[in-house]
């Protein structure tokens, strides 16, 4: 495992490096966060939802908290052996996401994300990064990741822009389904991308699945959340599955084993003699 990128999405990066060439040949990256062909639409989809305001209030308004500490077990499936990782993730709302990764109780990598960008170092290769979010977007073939979307992905919140005018909301056996009625265009300084987006929520408005397909390439991304429970009056998912499809399929599985809401002192500093990874 060379080049550990110490963010929660580090795991995405580990596998996304395998899919970058595909997106380049098909007008590049992915957009929001999850993709797969929408072949598994829930049965009996199509019943109209009358109280749309209540639905959007629940899925868009973020939870109220000051900080959350998450202990996780992480498994990465890329076709190559990757040991199970123990992760400690600390989120200070709107300020920072700090992450420490270890293997068999040995610290392997550490990183921090702030609204300004991401930093991280890997003890196994004695290297580090210091970048804005464009680096993550480039590695993930997307153009939407910023600090706020990173927080939402980790907490199982709606991290793509949704609205009533360009999405169709229906009720089905699982809960609620929200599907883009027109391709969603995301414009950045470097590129414009269009995506088909589908989101599934349960009756409690917990996010179950996000699927996002780039209409101009075979790239797809999907994130699923399960085993939701309430902690400190905030509903959070115990399990997160990330599937990346491109030249090959990779999976990242996070099992969140503990949530804590006490303040935590976190440190980040690059050890001496580490080599900086140049962002190209």
Enter the pTM of the model.
0.81
Between the two ends of the chain, the Cα-to-Cα distance in Å is 20
Check: CB of residue 84 under 8 Å from CB of residue 73: yes
Average pLDDT estimate for 197-202: 96
Average pLDDT estimate for 233-250: 87
Residue 243's pLDDT band, with cuts at 50, 70 and 90, is: confident
Nearest to 12 by CA among 179, 217, 159: 159
Reported in sequence order, the residue ranges of 127-248 that DSSP labels E, i.e. its strands, are 127-131, 167-171, 175-180, 184-187, 192-202, 207-214, 220-231, 234-245
pLDDT tens-digit series, residues 125-139: 899 999 888 877 766
Q: Domains plus CATH for the chain?
A: 10-257 (2.50.20.10)
Q: What is the pLDDT of residue 67?
A: 97
Considering the chain, what is the average pLDDT of its residues?
81
Q: What is the pLDDT of residue 132?
A: 87
Average pLDDT estimate for 154-163: 93
Q: What φ, ψ does residue 198 adopt, rounded to 5°?
A: -135, 135
Does pLDDT of 36 surpass 50? no
Residue 35's pLDDT band, with cuts at 50, 70 and 90, is: very low
């Amino acid at each position: 495992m060379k080049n550990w990128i110490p963010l929660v999405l580090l795991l995405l990066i580990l596998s996304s490096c395998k899919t970058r060439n595909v997106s380049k040949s098909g007008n590049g990256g992915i957009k929001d966060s999850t993709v797969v062909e929408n072949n598994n639409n829930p049965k009996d989809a199509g019943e109209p939802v009358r109280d749309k305001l209540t639905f959007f209030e629940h899925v868009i308004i973020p939870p109220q908290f000051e900080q959350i500490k998450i202990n996780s077990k992480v498994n990465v499936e890329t076709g190559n052996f990757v040991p199970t990782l123990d992760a400690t993730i600390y989120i200070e709302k709107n300020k920072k996401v700090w992450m420490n990764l270890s293997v068999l109780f040995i610290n392997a990598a550490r990183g921090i994300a702030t609204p300004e960008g991401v930093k991280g170092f890997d003890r196994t290769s004695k290297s580090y990064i210091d970048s804005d979010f464009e680096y993550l977007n480039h590695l993930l073939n997307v153009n939407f990741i910023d600090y706020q979307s990173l927080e939402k992905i980790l907490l199982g919140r709606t991290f793509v822009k949704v609205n009533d005018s360009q999405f169709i909301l229906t009720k089905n056996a699982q809960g609620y389904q929200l599907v883009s009625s027109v391709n969603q265009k995301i414009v950045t300084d470097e590129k414009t991308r269009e995506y088909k987006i589908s989101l599934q929520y349960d009756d409690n408005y917990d996010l179950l699945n996000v699927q996002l397909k780039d209409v101009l390439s075979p790239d797809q991304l999907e994130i699923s959340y399960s085993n939701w429970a309430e902690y400190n009056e905030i509903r959070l998912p115990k399990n997160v599955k990330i599937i990346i499809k491109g030249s090959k399929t990779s999976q990242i599985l996070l099992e969140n084993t503990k949530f804590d809401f006490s303040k935590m002192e976190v440190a980040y500093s690059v050890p001496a003699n580490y080599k900086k990874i140049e962002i190209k």
